[in-house]
Amino acid sequence: MAPLLSVKDLHHGFGAGGTRLEVLTGVAFEVASGELVALMGPSGCGKSTLLNIIGGLLAADSGTIDVNGSAYGQQPPYALVELRRATIGWIFQDYHLLPHLSALDNVTLALELAGAVMPEAEQRATAALERVGLADRAQHRPDELSGGQAQRVAIARAIAGDRKLLLADEPTGNLDVATSREILELFHELCAGDNELSILMVTHDAALAARADRMLLLRDGCVAASDVESAWGDAV
Ligand SMILES: Nc1ncnc2c1ncn2[C@@H]1O[C@H](COP(=O)(O)OP(=O)(O)OP(=O)(O)O)[C@@H](O)[C@H]1O
Ligand SMILES: [Mg+2]
C-alpha cells in the first residue's frame, strides 16, 4: 500500500549570501496510513520548518512532498489552499482556540470556514467532540477548560473535516506528564479508527516519543534515525 505521506530529498534554507542558513539538507521519510510518528531533534534543527513545508505553508527550495496522492514541494502557500483545507489538520502547543466561542462553536466555525453549512456543520462538530471525549464540555469556553481539555477541542477541530494527516507541533508542550500521555492515547485511538488518520507529532519528550509507533530524529538537516533506541543517547 502507498504511504499516506512521502517526503523526498527535501532542502530548505533561510537568507542569502554569508548569512544563509541551510536548515533541511535532504530530508526523506514516509508515514503509513494509520501511523503515529514522533519527530524529535534539537531546538532549531528545523522541525517546525519541516512541518510547515509538509503542511503547505512554506515552499521548499527543492524536493517533493506527496500526501494522499497530491504532490507538491515548491508551490507557494496560496496554490495549496484546497489541499490544506481538505487533507491536513494542525495542532499547536497553545491550542489556538477562539476565546469567546464555546468548544462546539470553535469546531463548528472551522468547519463552516472549510465550506460546511448548518445544521450539518454543528452535527459534525458534535461528533468530533464526542470522538475526543469532550461531548459534556461542548458549551464551555476555552478559559473554562483544563489545558488537556482545550487541546482535545483543538484536536476535534483538526479532525472534524475528515482530514487524512494531522501535523502536531509540540502538542503536549504545555501539558503535564499524565495529560500528555492521555493525549498520546487519544492520538493512537484516532489513528486506529476507520478513517485512516496519520499523525506526525513534534515533541521534545523522549518518553512520549517512545510511545508513538515510530520515531524520526532530525539532526544536521537530515533524518538521522528512525527508531527509538538509537535516539535515546545524546539526541535529546
Ligand atoms: N523565517 C525564517 N527566517 C530565517 N530563519 C528562520 C526562519 N524560520 C526559521 N528559521 C531558522 O531555521 C532554523 C530552524 O527553525 P525551526 O523553527 O524549524 O526549528 P525547530 O526545530 O522547530 O526548533 P524548536 O525545537 O526550538 O521549535 C532555526 O535556526 C531558525 O532560526
Ligand atoms: Mg519548532
pLDDT of residue 21 exceeding 70, the answer is yes
- Scan for cell 503542511, then name that residue: 55
Give the number of whichever ligand sits closest to the CA of residue 52: 1
Class of domain 5-97+164-231 as given by CATH: alpha beta
Strands 165-169 and 88-92: parallel
pLDDT of residue 143 exceeding 90, the answer is yes
**pLDDT above 90 coverage of the chain, percent:** 86
Beta strands (DSSP E) in 80-228 are 88-92, 165-169, 198-202, 214-219, 222-225
What's the average model confidence in pLDDT over 13-38? 95
Q: In the numeric block, which cell numbers belong to residue 198? A: 496519520
Coil vs helix vs strand at 161? coil
Q: Please, which residues have CB within 8 angstroms of residue 60's CB and are 6 or more apart in sequence? A: 10, 11, 12, 24, 53, 73, 74
Which residue has its alpha carbon closest to ligand 1 atom 29? 44
The ranges assigned to domains in the chain are 5-97+164-231
pTM score, whole prediction: 0.93
HEC string of 55-115 equals CCCCCCCEEEEEECCEEECCCCHHHHHHHHHHHEEEEECCCCCCCCCCHHHHHHHHHHHCC
What separation in Å is there between the alpha carbon of 29 and the centre of ligand 1? Answer: 20
- Ligand 1: residue of 10, 40, 45 to mutate (most ligand atoms within 8 A of CB) is 45
Question: What DSSP state is assigned to residue 187?
Answer: H
Band the pLDDT of 194: cuts 50, 70, 90. confident
